[in-house]
Amino acid sequence: MAKIIAGFGTSHTPAIGAALDLGKKAEPYWAPIFNGYAPAQKWMEEVKPDVVIMVYNDHVNAFDFKIIPTFAIGCADEFTIADEGWGARPVPVVKGYPEFAAHLVQSLVLDEFDITIVNDMQVDHGLTVPMSLAFGAPSAWPVKVIPLAVNVIQYPAPTGNRCYNLGKAIKAAVESWDEDLKVVIFGTGGMSHQIQGPRAGLVNKEFDTAFLDNLSKDPEALVKIQPLTYLRDAGNEAIELVMWLIMRGALGEQVDEAYRFYHVPASSTAVGHIILETREFHESRKARAAA
């Protein structure tokens, strides 16, 4: 059967993609960030997942203000790269997995999560920047990707609790797919940041550190954070962090933190990253390493 083996939480700051695409990786401002993701890329190379479920948000590129689905799953064969105003990023087209995506939609809808089916869409920095941070700059992405777009652009955004429960339902949906697949689920966006208004540039390191700690120590505490609390304490765009709770909900009760990185700033964002392994996957990796 298919299994979710780990979660990959990461910011998706568009300027990181631009820095990479413009060859600025080694510049003093950017080098610490890219160095911080080097161990994550090594982890990915070792683990070699078959499929990524990419929980991210569209930033008015695939969906304009005419239609704003709360939860939408990309069921297409492939997803082209959106032009966000300065040309499409020069990264490979994103290959989907329509059959598996359709199964996830079926399982989730029967589980009473009303998912929007998307058969044609472009993907923006919310998806492509995490791909670059996880997999570097290959000529083709080494995994199939199922995009799960969450509305955090126009209030009301879903609550952390709803997201966490959706994650649990995704775990069950994946495990009812009869094909041996290693799945890694991403939660993207965050961490604390505000990109507009008088509080632009707001960063709350304490909030972010507690959030990273509690992903393994006390996820129930994170689930209780209300949308307005994200806004007040960690900036308007910190609401993106609810997507990390979909990732966390999909990993089961016990997780082991395999890697963490935190850096301020990239553009106006506190960049945060975490790899959480399911207890089962963590134990199997330890046993293999010891053998």
Contacts 24+ apart (CB under 8 A), 230-233: 233/192, 233/204, 233/207
Residue 201, phi-psi category: left (phi > 0), alpha (psi -120 to 50), beta (remainder) = left
Q: Is 58 in the site for ligand DHB (CB under 6 A)?
A: no
> Which of residues 109, 153, 195, 231 is near ligand DHB by CB under 6 A?
195
Gap between the Cα atoms of 191 and 279, Å rounded: 25
Q: What separation, in Å, do the N-terminal and C-terminal C-alpha atoms of the chain show? A: 25
Of 41, 133, 55, 142, the residue nearest 89 (C-alpha):
133
Q: Is 132 in the site for ligand DHB (CB under 6 A)?
A: no
Gap between the Cα atoms of 195 and 212, Å rounded: 22
Using DSSP's 3-state secondary structure scheme, residue 167 falls into helix
Q: Is 13 in the site for ligand DHB (CB under 6 A)?
A: yes
Q: Is 250 in the site for ligand DHB (CB under 6 A)?
A: no
- Closer by beta carbon to ligand DHB, 225 or else 243: 243
Draw the binding track, 207-246, toward ligand DHB (x: CB under 6 A; -: no contact).
------------------------------x---------
Does the active-site annotation cover 193? yes
Does the active-site annotation cover 125? yes
> Which of residues 6, 8, 12, 89 is near ligand DHB by CB under 6 A?
12
User: ω before 265 within 30° of 0 (cis)?
Assistant: yes
Q: In terms of DSSP H, where are the helices of the chain? A: 14-21, 31-47, 98-110, 125-135, 160-175, 205-217, 219-223, 227-234, 242-249, 279-290
Q: For ligand DHB, which stretch binds (CB under 6 A), given 7-15, 80-88, 178-186, 222-230?
A: 7-15
Using CB under 6 A as the binding rule, the residues of this chain from 59 to 118 that contact ligand DHB are 59
Task: Work out whether the CA dihedral 227, 231, 236, 237 comes out positive or negative.
Answer: negative
> Which of residues 7, 9, 14, 160 is near ligand DHB by CB under 6 A?
14
CB of 215 to ligand DHB, least distance (A): 19
Rg from Cα positions in the chain? 17
Q: Is 269 in the site for ligand DHB (CB under 6 A)?
A: yes
Q: Is 162 in the site for ligand DHB (CB under 6 A)?
A: no
Q: Is 268 in the site for ligand DHB (CB under 6 A)?
A: yes
Task: Give me the active site residues, please.
Answer: 125, 193
Interface residues with ligand DHB (CB under 6 A)? 12-15, 59, 189, 193, 195, 237, 267-269
